[in-house]
């Protein structure tokens, strides 16, 4: 069953085309990696799907509805959620109220009491229950990343975009984050990860889509994609490819 179909999407910022005729389809329950060099247009494509950046061409359909011109609050209420690479919580809010605010953004009729109760549940899931009353400014980077994930989950996503959730984390923290992503996917949430750690991508993703210069140059099973000459040339490099081919 189709979750998302983005067809021939164009996005310009100023005079520059950041996304050029890109198409991406997702099935319900998939865990897909969106990879590519810095500046390839990955975050811009996600921003466009989520209503942050307008599309200048193409069509985006989510859960059967045309969302090409959607606003961010409308996207949230439909079940689209995302994390951000640069984590910027409400610093003086408590950790709990950061998550409650996300719940209220996606469901404005909900009471603060209910939102806080739900926030506590998501904080327990990501391992931040003990920090619930602390100011968000007191958290470490790894904790702030988990807070970002809890905020996204509070929006009850059908489709969740994770923008470099592992950036800046050590090996143990990456393993913990990966385990959480596995659990979220097991609950049936469709996930797209923007990720540079190929070890993580190959470990948990069922598909890889590769953007380069705003265009989709490959999309398929991980093993096929990492052997694609265009992907090796644009992103992975020959040394990486040779190491992985030797294993396989």
* Domain boundaries along the sequence of the chain: 2-79+158-247, 90-156
CA end-to-end distance (rounded Å), the chain: 32
In this predicted structure, the answer to whether residue 248 has a pLDDT above a threshold of 60 is no
Q: Read off the pTM.
A: 0.92
CB 62 within 8 A of CB 78: yes
In this predicted structure, the answer to whether residue 238 has a pLDDT above a threshold of 80 is no
Q: Over the stretch 109-133, which tens digit does the pLDDT of each residue have?
A: 899 999 999 999 999 999 999 999 9
Q: Which residue has the tokens 């996207």?
A: 75
| pLDDT tier for residue 192 given thresholds of 50, 70 and 90 | very high
In this predicted structure, the answer to whether residue 246 has a pLDDT above a threshold of 60 is no
CATH T-level fold of 2-79+158-247? Rossmann fold (3.40.50)
β-pairing verdict for 159-163 and 57-62: unpaired
Please count the other Cβ atoms lying within 10 Å of the Cβ belonging to residue 50.
22
């Amino acid at each position: 069953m189709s979750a998302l179909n983005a067809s021939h999407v164009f996005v310009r910022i100023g005079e520059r085309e950041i996304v050029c005729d890109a198409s991406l389809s997702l099935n319900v329950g998939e865990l897909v990696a969106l990879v590519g060099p810095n500046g390839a247009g990955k975050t811009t494509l996600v921003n466009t799907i989520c209503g942050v950046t307008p599309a200048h061409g193409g069509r985006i359909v989510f859960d059967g509805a045309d969302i090409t011109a959607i606003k961010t609050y409308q996207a949230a209420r439909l079940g689209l959620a995302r994390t951000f690479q640069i984590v910027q919580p409400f610093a003086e809010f408590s950790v709990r109220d950061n998550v409650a605010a996300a719940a209220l953004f996606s469901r404005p009729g909900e009471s603060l009491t209910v939102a806080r109760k739900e926030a506590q549940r998501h904080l327990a899931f990501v391992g931040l229950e003990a920090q619930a009353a602390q100011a968000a400014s007191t958290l470490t980077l790894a904790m702030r990343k988990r807070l970002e994930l809890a905020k996204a989950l509070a929006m009850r996503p059908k489709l969740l975009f994770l923008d470099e959730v592992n950036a800046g984390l050590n090996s143990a923290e990456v393993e913990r984050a990966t385990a959480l992503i596995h659990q979220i996917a097991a609950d049936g949430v469709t996930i797209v990860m923007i990720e540079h750690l190929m070890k993580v991508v190959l470990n948990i993703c069922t598909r890889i889509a590769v953007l380069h210069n705003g265009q989709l140059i490959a999309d398929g099973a991980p093993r096929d994609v990492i052997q694609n000459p265009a992907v090796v040339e644009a992103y992975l490099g020959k040394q990486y490819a040779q190491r992985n081919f030797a294993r396989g």
